[in-house]
Every structure is written in C-alpha cells, then in structure tokens.
Amino acid sequence: MTNTTIDLFASALHFRPDGDVRAVERQMAGSGSGAWQIAAFHVASDADVHADHWEMHPQAEEAVCCLTGGVRLYFRPEAPGGAEDMVRLRAGAAVIVPRGRWHRLELDAPSDLMSITLRDGTRLERRTGTS
C-alpha cells in the first residue's frame, strides 16, 4: 500500500463496514455502501452550508465539528409551531445530531467544519418561509 496524503477539503474518507478506508468524492447522499463519511469543508457564507434547507440522516447520528470560526446549528421544532433549538459552536467544539433529527447551519464567521456520519438515506428539505 502506498502512503499518500489526502486533502480532506477536496475529498472525503469513507470507512466501510468491512474495515476498508477510501478517499472518495464528497457526497451529500449515501451510496448505499454502508460507509461512514468524514469530510471537511471551508465555508464562507450561509449558502455554503445550505442554511435554507433542513437536513436529516435517518441511518445514524452525525458529529458536526467546528474546526475554525463559528457556526450556529439549529434543530427543527419537533412539534408544529414550536421554536427551533440552537447550539453555538466555536473553534474546537462539536455537537452530535441525533439520528433522524432535522437540522441546519448558519455561520457566525467563515469557518472550517468537519462532518462525520453515515450518509445513506440523507434527506434535504427546503425551509418554508425562506427565499
């Protein structure tokens, strides 16, 4: 095996159930392989984190890690008419998003983020009341 460096801002790592680890193109939805994806992102605006969409991972929890900068992670209300819950992440902080919980991000500043989850079945849904 040849040891090469992998740019996590350009590729993702997939950890497969058989123990294989591969550098692959980042994916928003899963490939059905059962691979966990670790990916890092340079983000400069709310558009970079699809702030106008809710996201949900039905197959696993997600670790959202703020490496630099700052972000706000919002959880969609579980009951109609309820308020969004918000968690603020600063550099070096992470939050675990429960399996099946709709969530979204907004930036406090340009940031570097890392996401770790099983993307199989991932869904995006446009927020109502946004343009």
The answer to whether 77 touches 107, Cβ cutoff 8 Å, is no
Superfamily covering domain 39-126: Jelly Rolls (2.60.120.10)
Q: Using CA atoms, how far apart are residues 65 and 69, in angstroms rounded to an integer?
A: 11
Q: Is the pLDDT of residue 66 over 60?
A: yes
**Burial classification of residue 113, based on how many CB atoms lie within 10 Å of its CB (0-12 exposed, 13-18 middle, 19 or more buried):** buried
The residue ranges of every structural domain in the chain are: 39-126
Supply the pLDDT for residue 26: 80
Per-residue pLDDT tens for 110-126?
A: 999 999 999 888 999 99
Per-residue pLDDT tens for 87-109?
A: 999 999 999 999 999 999 999 99
SS3 call for 47: helix
Supply the pLDDT for residue 32: 75
Per-residue pLDDT tens for 20-63?
A: 999 998 876 666 778 999 999 999 999 999 899 999 999 999 99
Cα dihedral 119/64/128/101 (nearest 10): 70
111, amino acid identity: S
Contacts of 1 (CB under 8 A, 6+ apart): none
Report pTM. Answer: 0.89
Q: Using CA atoms, how far apart are residues 72 and 56, in angstroms rounded to an integer?
A: 16
